[in-house]
Amino acid sequence: MRLTGVELRQIAVPLVAPFRTSFGTQHAREIVLVRAVTDDGEGWGECGAMAAPLYSSEYTKAVADVLRDYLIPALAEVAQLDPWRVAPALEPVKGHRMAKAALETAVLDAWLRAHGISFATWLGATRERVAAGVSVGIMDSIPRLLDAVGGYLAEGYVRIKLKIEPGWDIEPVRAVRERFGDEVLLQVDANTAYRVADAHHLARLDPFGLLLIEQPLDEEDIRGHAKLAEIVRTPICLDESIVSARSAADAIALGACSVVNIKPSRVGGYLEARRVHDVCVAHGVPVWCGGMLETGLGRAANVALAALPGFTLPGDTSASDRYYATDITEPFVLADGHLDVPREPGLGREPIPERLESVTVTKEWITVRS
């Protein structure tokens, strides 16, 4: 397979409701989409980076720059392209994992379509549908939170994740437990908002029987998470800290986490995401699939990944309508608390042209060979 060129597209899609986390409030999702065009068909990749560098150091403008100026030129050097040759070709460029993931995913989609293989089959999926959890943002008041959680439970979501920050942690968790009971699968995500000195405060979450506390401390504070795990009984799960299979192996060996959130974009793509999964399975560490408020394109690949055997906890793999009034692909729909894993070649989803155009902010074409 030979790469002909790449289209970079910036889109902006309004969210159905503002999504507030400890790092900020999103009203719309600004996303870079990559379309890889080859002599054997084309493929799509969605970049997880957000508009501002507040969740991770990457952001949409930097993603477009590094793809145009460094990553696509590096990939252009590869004469015979296949999914395994992408990461080695991009390896001289430091960091920028989300940008690399989007480019690799576009090549992988093109290659899988050309070979008639679905993402799920190629990754080694063992399930036909995956359990859907939902991530619930920080709200203005407890009654609003209870309305939101009640709505999601009524829709059938099988696990609730509450975003927390100092001042919005013990009381929201207590209120959700009191209203909806102890059987609800419940977890919290701090997005690095605490310090190790908050350990005894976070231990006050222990009586509520949470599945896990996600990323309480700074992404680089592996030792702090290990210290926290000695004081807090609720399992510690890492998100931001896990950027590769190596960092997962280190965090597990150092006792910093007993659960891992796998986001393919954060670790540089689906090949590395599968390696993270394999490392965790080898250590008996449960994993679940995280999300970056993806459209149907990124969601299709995440749902395929979440169908691997080590994904024993429900993921942030919610239905399209949890995020968008109109998705850019055929939507993912909740059925009995689950999403169906696409079975068609490649991602099994593609942008609907009119919808894609209606959310497009800019697009550029980068010729690789003519």
Helical H segments across the chain, by residue range: 60-66, 72-76, 83-90, 97-115, 119-123, 142-155, 170-180, 199-202, 222-231, 245-253, 270-282, 296-305, 353-359
Closest distance of CB 69 from Mg ion, Å: 30
Nearest to 333 by CA among 43, 129, 123, 29: 129
Closest distance of CB 311 from ligand OSB, Å: 15
One-letter amino acid for residue 365 of the chain: W
**239 contacts ligand OSB (rule: CB under 6 A):** yes
- Which string of x and - marks every residue 226-265 that binds Mg ion (by CB under 5 A)? -------------x--------------------------
Beta-strand relationship, 159-163 and 186-189: parallel
Would you call 163 a catalytic residue per the annotation? yes
**157 contacts ligand OSB (rule: CB under 6 A):** no
Computed on alpha carbons and rounded to an integer, the radius of gyration of the chain in Å comes to: 20
Residue 83, both tokens: 């999914």
Residue 328's binding partner among Mg ion, ligand OSB, none (Cβ under 5 to 8 angstroms by kind) is: none
Span of 115-123, 168-176, 266-274, 287-295 interacting with ligand OSB by CB under 6 A: 287-295
Residue 81, both tokens: 């392209």
**291 contacts ligand OSB (rule: CB under 6 A):** yes
Residue 272's binding partner among ligand OSB, Mg ion, none (Cβ under 5 to 8 angstroms by kind) is: none
Determine the residue with CB nearest ligand OSB.
Answer: 291
d(CA 250, CA 276): 11
- Which string of x and - marks every residue 183-202 that binds Mg ion (by CB under 5 A)? ------x-------------
d(CA 156, CA 172): 21
The DSSP 8-state label assigned to residue 332 in this structure reads P
The DSSP code sequence of 236-272 is EEESTT--SHHHHHHHHHTTS-SEEEE-TTTTTSHHH
* Candidate residues 316, 339, 355, 368; the one interacting with ligand OSB per rule CB under 6 A: 316
Please tell me which residue in 94, 100, 163, 363 is annotated as part of the active site: 163
**10 contacts ligand OSB (rule: CB under 6 A):** no
**55 contacts ligand OSB (rule: CB under 6 A):** yes
Contact call for residues 296 and 322 (beta carbons, < 8 A): no
Contact call for residues 283 and 257 (beta carbons, < 8 A): no
Nearest to 63 by CA among 45, 85, 79, 86: 45
Residues of this chain, 85-114, that bind ligand OSB according to CB under 6 A: none
Span of 38-46, 63-71, 103-111, 290-298 interacting with ligand OSB by CB under 6 A: 290-298
Nearest to 218 by CA among 198, 194, 200: 194
# residues near Mg ion by CB under 5 A: 3
* Candidate residues 318, 319, 324, 349; the one interacting with ligand OSB per rule CB under 6 A: 318
# residues near ligand OSB by CB under 6 A: 11
State which residue, 1 or 98, has the beta carbon closest to ligand OSB: 98
Residue 42, both tokens: 């084309």
- Contacts of residue 22, defined as CB under 8 A and 6 or more positions apart, other chains included, come to 138, 163, 164, 165, 190, 191, 192, 193
One-letter amino acid for residue 152 of the chain: Y
State which residue, 214 or 350, has the beta carbon closest to Mg ion: 214
State which residue, 61 or 85, has the beta carbon closest to ligand OSB: 61
* Candidate residues 78, 237, 248, 293; the one interacting with ligand OSB per rule CB under 6 A: 293
State which residue, 89 or 213, has the beta carbon closest to ligand OSB: 213
Span of 22-30, 123-131, 181-189, 198-206 interacting with Mg ion by CB under 5 A: 181-189
Would you call 61 a catalytic residue per the annotation? no
Residues of this chain, 127-156, that bind ligand OSB according to CB under 6 A: 135
d(CA 106, CA 9): 13
**58 contacts Mg ion (rule: CB under 5 A):** no
What is the contact surface with Mg ion in residues (CB under 5 A)?
189, 214, 239
What is the contact surface with ligand OSB in residues (CB under 6 A)?
55, 135, 189, 191, 239, 290-293, 316, 318
Active-site residue numbers? 163, 263
